């Protein structure tokens, strides 16, 4: 009698144990899934986008260093090229396009376009666009006016998007990595446009630090046109300092 009771109890507790382990396994599976799910949602929510832009090139000396750093970090930039430098820097323009970068116009010879007539501004844009087309069979769509100078006429009547910036690294002025980083850390935001110049050795040399920091802070570095597409903004005529 005593023996049968003990056997019964053992059977019950075995069944109970099985039940508990099944329930535990279920809890672990469900909560594990929830953790994974929330981790991927977090990663998505954390990703921010920034457009890195370079003016005044291409340079036959320094642009290659910029391209190397961009490639290393799987980053895309927009190069606003000066038309009269396109033929000599053809090799770097082609390489930039191959890497997924964007080529845009920075006038033919770095003139202050705000002082010109609309016809003259158009001529600057078209002449540079033609040079890029000839060098790399690529269609230029955007203008960055030298000095960020835009006239009222350009604002009203120029047919292409004019891209300015909201993060000025002042890389041409201070010429060192800590200073460039100071402005980026202070001013960068989701949808920002960063201004740099690929004609200075100090600027292209800073890129490993710049790109490493942006990556660490969940910024994906894209071209201006990619940023617009990601943000669902159709780039029209007018001035853009960022794309939110």
User: Interface with Zn ion by CB under 5 A: which range of 49-57, 119-127, 185-193, 214-222?
Assistant: 49-57
> Is residue 56 part of the contact set for Zn ion (CB under 5 A)?
yes
User: Interface with Zn ion by CB under 5 A: which range of 48-56, 59-67, 123-131, 229-237?
Assistant: 48-56
> Is residue 171 part of the contact set for Zn ion (CB under 5 A)?
no
Active site annotation includes 217: no
Cα separation, 20 vs 110, whole angstroms: 76
- Alpha helices for 188-223 (secondary structure H): 201-205, 207-216
> Is residue 146 part of the contact set for Zn ion (CB under 5 A)?
yes
Active site annotation includes 218: no
Cα separation, 233 vs 54, whole angstroms: 22
Q: How far is the CB of 156 from Zn ion (least distance, A)?
A: 23
> Is residue 55 part of the contact set for Zn ion (CB under 5 A)?
yes
49: which strand partners?
A: 220
- Alpha helices for 140-195 (secondary structure H): 152-157, 171-174, 177-187
Nearest residue to Zn ion on Cβ basis: 55
Catalytic residue among 76, 106, 197, 200: 197
238: which strand partners?
A: 161
Q: How many Cβ atoms sit within 10 Å of the Cβ of residue 6?
A: 10
State the angle between helix axes of 207-216 and 177-187 in degrees (0 to 180), rounded to the nearest 10.
30
Q: How far is the CB of 38 from Zn ion (least distance, A)?
A: 45
> Is residue 198 part of the contact set for Zn ion (CB under 5 A)?
no
Which residues are identified as catalytic?
55, 197
Contacts with Zn ion, residue ranges (CB under 5 A):
55-56, 146
């Amino acid at each position: 009698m005593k023996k049968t009771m003990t056997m019964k109890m053992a059977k019950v507790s075995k069944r109970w144990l099985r039940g508990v382990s099944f329930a535990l396994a279920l809890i672990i599976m469900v909560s594990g899934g929830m953790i994974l799910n929330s981790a991927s949602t977090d990663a998505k929510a954390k990703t921010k986008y920034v457009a890195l832009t370079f003016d005044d090139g291409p340079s036959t000396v320094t642009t290659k260093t910029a391209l190397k750093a961009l490639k290393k970090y799987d980053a895309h930039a927009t190069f606003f090229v000066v038309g009269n430098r396109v033929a000599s820097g053809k090799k770097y323009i082609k390489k930039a396009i191959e890497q997924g970068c964007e080529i845009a116009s920075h006038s033919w010879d770095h003139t202050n376009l705000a002082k010109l007539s609309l016809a003259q501004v158009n001529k600057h844009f078209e002449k540079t666009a033609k040079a890029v087309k000839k060098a790399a069979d690529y269609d230029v769509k955007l203008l960055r006016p030298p000095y960020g100078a835009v006239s009222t006429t350009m604002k009203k009547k120029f047919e292409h998007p004019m891209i300015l910036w909201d993060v000025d690294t002042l890389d041409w002025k201070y010429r060192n990595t800590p200073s460039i980083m100071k402005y980026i850390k202070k001013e960068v935001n989701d949808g920002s446009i960063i201004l740099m110049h690929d004609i200075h050795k100090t600027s292209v040399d800073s890129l490993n630090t710049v790109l490493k920091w942006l990556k660490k802070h969940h910024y994906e570095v894209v071209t201006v046109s990619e940023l617009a597409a990601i943000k669902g903004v159709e780039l029209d005529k007018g001035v853009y300092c960022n794309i939110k």
